[in-house]
Amino acid sequence: MVALAGLLGWGMWDVYMGAPWTRDATVRAYVVKIAPEVAGRIAELPVADNKYVHKGDLLMMIDQTNYKDAVSRAEAAVQQEKASVQNVDAQIAVQEAQISASQARLDEEQARLVFAQQQASRYGTLAREGSGTL
């Protein structure tokens, strides 16, 4: 009987301690573990020990140095890529100018070829006819 009473007592104690309840149907949390959504050093802690905290109260301020540095590095990378794009655009402009100059030289050489072919044809005709200057 004593063993049965001991087992029932232990079972009730386990249920009582494992499942918290109150008679007025409220549960108070005096210690709450918190974790910020971002990582970083805590710069400010406006909460004092053993003071009540309400919903929406500021609990801690994270040091923004790392995030500002990351923004600066990202902005520098964007500027570098913009400069790279401008450099490539300038190279394209130089290449287009070189293409235009080469096209002009090609047109000039083609005109000289046509002129030389016309002169050769004319001199050939004069030579066949026996005409010419003395």
In-domain check, residue 25: no
Residue 22 lies in a domain: no
User: pLDDT at position 55, please?
Assistant: 83
* Residues 22/9, Cβ–Cβ less than 8 Å: no
Determine, yes or no, domain membership for 95: yes
Structure confidence by residue, pLDDT tens digits, 35-51: 777 888 888 888 887 77
Judge whether 53 and 47 are in contact, CB under 8 Å: yes
The confidence score (pLDDT) of residue 26 equals 56
Domain count along the chain: 1
- Between CA 132 and CA 134 the distance in angstroms is 7
| Alpha carbon distance 38, 18 (integer Å) | 33
Could you tell me the pTM of the whole model?
A: 0.49
